[in-house]
Amino acid sequence: LTHLKAFSMQMNKLTGTLPESLFNLSVLWGLSFTINQLTGHLPKDAGRFLPNLQQLYMGKNNFDGPLPACLSNCTRLQVLSAESNKFSGLIQLEQGSLSQLRRLSLWGNMLTNVPGNRDLSNLTSLT
C-alpha cells in the first residue's frame, strides 16, 4: 500500500473505526470514505504523514471528537469535506497553512468556533 495514491470507499455501509495506518501513506493524494457508518475519533496525528493529500472526503458518517489539528500539515489540501458527522470542540486548523484549500464543508457538526469570513480571508483559493 505504500504506493497508493487514491483510496475511495464511499457509500459501502462500512462500520467501525478507520485504521491509523490509512493516515500514514505519504504518496496518497485522495482519500474518500463519505456516506458510510464509520464511528470514533480520527487519529490525533491524522494528516501528519500525508504531505501530498489534496482531497479528503469524510462527510456523512458518525465520526466524533475534535478535528485533528495536524490536518494543517496537509499543505496541499484543496478539499476538506467533513459535513454531517458528530465532530465537536474547537476547529484548531492552522488556516494559514491551508492556502490551497478551495472547499471547506463542516456543516452538521457540533463545532464551537466555526470560522467567519474574516477568519478565512487568508484562504484566497476558497470558493
In-domain check, residue 86: yes
CATH of the domain at 59: 3.80.10.10
Nearest-angstrom CA–CA distance, 62 and 4: 26
In-domain check, residue 75: yes
In-domain check, residue 35: yes
In-domain check, residue 17: yes
The reported pTM is 0.88
In-domain check, residue 117: no
In-domain check, residue 126: no
Q: From first to last of its 127 residues, what are the pLDDT tens digits of the chain?
A: 789 999 999 999 999 999 988 899 999 999 999 999 999 999 888 888 999 999 999 999 999 999 988 898 999 999 999 999 999 998 877 756 888 999 999 999 999 876 655 555 556 666 5
In-domain check, residue 93: yes
Cα atoms in the 13 Å half-sphere on the side-chain side of 63? 28
Question: Domain of 105?
Answer: 6-111
Provide the 3-class DSSP secondary structure of residue 108: coil
Domain count of the fold of the chain:
1
